[in-house]
Structure 1
Amino acid sequence: MAVRLALGLVIGGALGYAYHRLVGCSTGACPLTATPFRAITYGAVMGLIWATAR
């Protein structure tokens, strides 16, 4: 179970960062993707939710 949670966090964070780099927000007005930290955090939380769902 701990491995699954860790994978969810890491994969979600990586996808959040990838979304920030590839799609992102050029003006900085987008609340979730304006900074890489927010995008990584949001992705990690979504990955954690996905990892805990059965």
Structure 2
Amino acid sequence: MTRKVVIVTVIGVLVGAIGGYAYYHFIGCASGSCAITSKPLNSTLYGSLMGGLLFNIFVPKPKQEK
């Protein structure tokens, strides 16, 4: 893995974690029965996973020589 891949993925994880916590804080789950949004830790971890995966899509693949 190159340095660029790591940096972009870490930025995605951070943005996702902030987004996940913001989702918990502003929307959340009133009844407490939602698996992801009932606790801030679950929501933050899920957001960071999704953010890392999403940002990792935008890293260009290295060209392979024939």
The percent of aligned pairs where both chains have the same amino acid is 30
The answer as to 2:33 corresponding to 1:29 is: yes
Q: Choose between structure 1 and 2: higher helix proportion.
A: 1
The answer as to 2:13 corresponding to 1:9 is: yes
What TM-score does the superposition give when structure 1 sets the normalisation length?
0.92
* SS of aligned partner of 1:27: coil
Runs of 4+ in 1 over 2 A off after TM superposition: none
Give the distance between the partners of 1:25 and 1:50, measured in 2 at CA: 24
| Unaligned stretches of 5+ residues in structure 1 | none
Give the distance between the partners of 1:48 and 1:11, measured in 2 at CA: 8
Pairwise CA RMSD of aligned residues?
0.8
Relative CO higher for 1 or 2, CA cutoff 8 Å, sep ≥ 6? 1
Count, aligned residues = 54
